[in-house]
Structure 1
Amino acid sequence: MKNILVINSGSSSLKFQLISMPSEEVLASGLVERIGLDTGKVHYKSGSFSTSEEMPVKDHSVALKEVTKHLMDPEKGVIKDPAEIAAIGHRVVHGGATFSDTIVIDEKVKGKIKELFSLAPLHNPPNLKGIEVAEEIFPQAKQVGVFDTAFHQSIPSRANRYAIPNELFDKEQIQVYGFHGTSHKYVSEKANELLGDDNTKLVTVHLGNGCSITAVENGKSVDHSLGFGPVNGLIMGTRSGDIDQSVIFYMIEHLGYTAKEVSDLLHHKSGMLGLTGYSDLRDIEEQAEMGNRQCQLALEMNAYRIKKYIGGYAAAMNGLDAVVFTAGIGENSDVIRRMVCKNMDYLGLKLDEQKNSVRSKENRKINKEGASVKIFVIPTNEELEIAKQTFDMLA
C-alpha cells in the first residue's frame, strides 16, 4: 500500500486528498477556498472528524502549508512523518505540445511548466508553486505531474486547428489544447457507467471559477471550448470566454491599452467579476435574488453561452445521449442548471425541477422520466484520477 497525496491547485482554490493506493481509500481530504481573499476557508476531513476554519489565505503557498499542518496534527492528522507519503500527484493545467502524458517532475519539467505560464497565467503559476512547496515539505516523495491537456489529445484536426497560416501550427504548435481534461475524463466515464454503454455521445459541462464544456464521443474528447489558453469559451469567474478579436485590436489601437493590459483584463477582470463586481457565483445568485439587475443579466448570459455550446456539440456529434454537470458550480447551483436546461425541449432535455433542487454528493439523474436525453449531476473526482495515474508511476 502506498500513500498518494493529490494536490489540485485551481485559480482560487486548493483541493487535496490523501489516498491509500491501490485500495483507493481516502485517508483525509479537504479544500482551501477563496484563496487571495481575507475570507478564505480551510476545510479538512478525516474519518468522522471534520473542521472548517475561516482565515486569510494570501496565496497557494499558505494554503498548502495549512493542509500539511492538518495532515500532521497530533490529534486530527493521519500521518506522523512526511516520509509516509510515497508520491505527490500534481494537477498541472497546461502541458503545451511537450507533455501529453503523466510524468515524474524534475528541474527540466518545472522549467517547461514555467515557460508555459503565458498560456495559463491563472493556473500554471499556482501549479508550480504547489510543486515547489511540496518538494520542500516532502523531499523524499516522488513528484508527479498530471496534465489537463492530455484527455484532449484525441480531438481531431478539424476541431483542434485554427484557420491561420499553417506555419503557426507547424513551427509554433498553435492549436486547441483543451483543459480540465482530468475532470471531463472522470465524469464521462461515470456517465457511461450510469448509461450502461461506452458508445455514447455526451456533453460534459465543468463549471467552477474556470469553466469548460466538452463533446465526448465513445469515451474520447472530440471538441472542447477552451483552446490554446484557458480563457476561451464559456463565461467564467474572472475570464471573458469567447470575445470578438476586433475588440482586442480596438482596445490596443484606439483606447491605449498594451497587450499585457488586455491580457490581464481578459484573465483577471472580466467574466462574472467584470459584469457584476463579484467573482463567486454564490454571491451573484444571492444578489440576483435580491433584484440586482446586473447579476440577473450575468446569470442569463452565463446560461445562454452554455446552451449554445450544447447545441453546437449535439450537431457536431449528430446526436446527444446525456448532458453532465460537474465541478463546484455544476454540482451545487440548481439555478444555473435550471437556466441552462430551460427551453431545450428540441434537443430532448427535460429537467425535473424537484430532482434538480435536491443537494447531494452522489451521482444522480435529474431529468424527467422518459426524456430522450439524460441530465446527470456527477461530482468530479479529479483527485482519484490523478492518484491512479500517480500510483502507476511508482511501478
Structure 2
Amino acid sequence: MVPADTVLVLNAGSSSLRYAVLDPGDGRRLAGGHVEQLELDGFGPALERVTDELAGAGLAGRLTAVGHRVVHGGARHTSPTLVDDDVLADVEALSVLAPLHNPPAVAGIRRARTVWPDLPHVAVFDTGWFAGLPAAAATVTIDRRVAAEEGIRRFGMHGTSHAWVAGRAADLLGRPLAELGLVTLHLGNGASAAAVRGGRPVETSMGFTPLEGLVMGSRGGDIDPGVLLHLLRHRGYDADRLEDLLHHRSGLAGLAGTGDFRDLLRAVDDGEADARLAYDVYCHRIRKYVGAYLAVLDGADAVVFTGGVGENVPRLRADALRGLDRLGIEVDDDRNDSAGSGPAVISPAGTRVSVLVVPTDEELSIARQVAELLAGS
C-alpha cells in the first residue's frame, strides 16, 4: 500500500542522477535507482526515465513533494528551503564555490520543476548542518575586512550525511547523542571528517569550498596555497588551469591515475608504487584528522566510518586507524572483516573509543527534512 505522504528525493551529480521515493514516516524506500553518464543537458531524458519507472510502480500520482540535495547553500541558505526562482538563482550563483556540484543540482531542479510543476520542491543543503560552527572553526584567517566583504568563511559539506550517521551511531551505542563526542568520517569520491559534540558539529575538514581537507578521488584536500602562487607566478598557470588541476587532476587521480578506490586497491595489490603511495597518503591524512579531532573534542567516544569507501573497504578502515592504540583506538580484524557495510561495532570489546561502521542514508534524511518543513508551513 502506498502511503499518503511520499517524497521523491533527487541527487543530481556531475554525470549521474540518483533518485528515491520514500515514506518519511517509517523510512520505507518505495522505489529508487541511478541513471549514469549524463551531461548537464541530459536531465530531461533521465527524469523521463524516472517518471516512467514511478508510473510502473504506481507512484506517479502519489508524490507529495520533491527534495533536492544541494551541496553549497552559502551563508544565506542554512536550512531546508522551498525552491522558487530566487532560491534557484542563489544556488546557481553559488556554483563558483562548488563548480562540480551546484551546476548539476541547478539543472536537475530546473528540469524537475517542469516535470512536477504542482509539487513543492525543497532544497536541502549539505552546508546547512555546519552553519553553527564555532567561530574559531569557521573563521578563515585572512584580512577580516576582505573576508567580510567577500563572504569568506568555512562552510563544511556532507552535513546531511554527518548528521545522519551521528544519530545512528548514538543508537548503535545505546547512548543519548547529547552525551557523545564523535569523529565522523564520510569517505567516498568526496571525503570529509567532522568532530561532533552533543549532536552538533564543532569542526570539519571541508571549508569555503569542497577542496579542503582529506584526500579525495580527484581533489587533493589540504595544500599549501604557496604551491598555487608558485604555479601562477612561475609556471604560467591561470585560474582556469588551476581550477582544473585542483578539481580534476589531484587527490588519488593525481597521484595514481585513478580516482576509483576499487581500481586503486587493485593497483596496490599489483605492486604499483604510485598506487601504494596514494593509498598511504590517503590513510595518513585520515589518521592525522582523527588525532586532531580527538584533541578538539578532548577525547571521543567513537570514530564512525560511512560513505562508499568507509562502509565497504575493511582494509582501509584498519589501515587508516593503525597505530592509534595509545589513544584508545583499535580495530578488531574479525569484527571489521565481517561487518560488511554495517551498522557494526568493529573495535574490540572494552576499548576506550568505539570504532563503528554506519551506513549513511542521505535520501531518507532529506525526505524527513522535507516532510518536517512542509508540516510546519
Query: How far did residue 192 of structure 1 move?
Result: 1.4
- Encode CA deviations 1:259-284: one digit per residue, 9 max, x unaligned: 22102210111111111111111111
Query: How far did residue 12 of structure 1 move?
Result: 5.3
Matched, 1:351 2:331: yes
- Encode CA deviations 1:230-279: one digit per residue, 9 max, x unaligned: 00100101111000011000000000000221022101111111111111
Matched, 1:18 2:21: yes
Q: Structure 2 matches for 1:40-119, cutoff 5 A?
A: 57-59=37-39, 62=42, 65-66=45-46, 68-69=48-49, 72-73=52-53, 77-79=56-58, 81=60, 83-119=61-97
Q: Structure 2 matches for 1:174-193, cutoff 5 A?
A: 174-193=152-171
- Encode CA deviations 1:370-389: one digit per residue, 9 max, x unaligned: 21110110000111110011
Decide which moves more: 347-356 or 360-369.
Answer: 360-369
1:179–1:73: structure 2 CA closer, same or farther, 3 Å change rule?
A: closer
Query: How far did residue 22 of structure 1 move?
Result: 2.8
Matched, 1:372 2:352: yes
Structure 2 counterpart SS, 1:354: helix
Q: Which amino acid aligns with 1:354?
A: D
Is residue 14–residue 60 contact of structure 1 (8 Å, CA) maintained in 2? Answer: no
Structure 1 counterpart SS, 2:206: coil
Corresponding residue number in structure 1 for 2:105: 127
How many residues are treated as equivalent by the alignment?
A: 370
1:339 to 319, 333, 340: 319
Structure 1 counterpart SS, 2:210: coil
Is residue 28–residue 71 contact of structure 1 (8 Å, CA) maintained in 2? Answer: no
1:12–1:315: structure 2 CA closer, same or farther, 3 Å change rule?
A: farther
Is residue 71–residue 79 contact of structure 1 (8 Å, CA) maintained in 2? Answer: no
Is residue 339–residue 357 contact of structure 2 (8 Å, CA) maintained in 1? Answer: no
C-alpha distance in 1 between matches for 2:48 and 2:342: 28
Structure 2 counterpart SS, 1:356: helix
Query: How far did residue 11 of structure 1 move?
Result: 4.6
Structure 1 counterpart SS, 2:146: helix
Bigger helix fraction: 2
1:297–1:112: structure 2 CA closer, same or farther, 3 Å change rule?
A: same
1:286–1:238: structure 2 CA closer, same or farther, 3 Å change rule?
A: same
Matched, 1:246 2:226: yes
1:211 to 179, 184, 191: 191
2:236 to 256, 261, 266: 256
Is residue 68–residue 121 contact of structure 2 (8 Å, CA) maintained in 1? Answer: yes
Decide which moves more: 339-348 or 60-69.
Answer: 60-69
Structure 2 counterpart SS, 1:174: coil
Q: Which amino acid aligns with 2:82?
A: V
1:363–1:272: structure 2 CA closer, same or farther, 3 Å change rule?
A: same
1:67–1:337: structure 2 CA closer, same or farther, 3 Å change rule?
A: farther
C-alpha distance in 2 between matches for 1:346 and 1:63: 51
Query: How far did residue 68 of structure 1 move?
Result: 4.9
C-alpha distance in 2 between matches for 1:299 and 1:239: 14
- Encode CA deviations 1:286-307: one digit per residue, 9 max, x unaligned: 1111111111110100010010
Corresponding residue number in structure 1 for 2:366: 386
C-alpha distance in 2 between matches for 1:184 and 1:21: 19
1:347–1:263: structure 2 CA closer, same or farther, 3 Å change rule?
A: same
Is residue 349–residue 374 contact of structure 1 (8 Å, CA) maintained in 2? Answer: yes
Matched, 1:146 2:134: no
Is residue 9–residue 60 contact of structure 1 (8 Å, CA) maintained in 2? Answer: no
Corresponding residue number in structure 2 for 1:52: none
C-alpha distance in 1 between matches for 2:297 and 2:219: 27
Moved over 6 A (4+): none
Corresponding residue number in structure 2 for 1:43: none
Decide which moves more: 167-176 or 255-264.
Answer: 167-176
1:64–1:16: structure 2 CA closer, same or farther, 3 Å change rule?
A: farther
Is residue 195–residue 202 contact of structure 2 (8 Å, CA) maintained in 1? Answer: yes
Q: Which amino acid aligns with 2:274?
A: Q
Q: Which amino acid aligns with 1:287?
A: A
C-alpha distance in 1 between matches for 2:335 and 2:16: 28
Q: Structure 2 matches for 1:150-165, cutoff 5 A?
A: 150-165=128-143
C-alpha distance in 2 between matches for 1:151 and 1:253: 38
Matched, 1:4 2:7: yes
Give TM-score scaled by structure 2 length: 0.93
Query: How far did residue 394 of structure 1 move?
Result: 2.5
Q: Which amino acid aligns with 1:26?
A: R
Is residue 4–residue 387 contact of structure 1 (8 Å, CA) maintained in 2? Answer: yes
Q: Cα RMSD over matched residues?
A: 1.8
2:32 to 29, 32, 54: 29
Gaps of 5+ in 2: none
Is residue 239–residue 270 contact of structure 1 (8 Å, CA) maintained in 2? Answer: yes
Give TM-score scaled by structure 1 length: 0.89
Q: Structure 2 matches for 1:322-333, cutoff 5 A?
A: 322-333=302-313
C-alpha distance in 2 between matches for 1:129 and 1:243: 31
Q: Which amino acid aligns with 2:158?
A: H
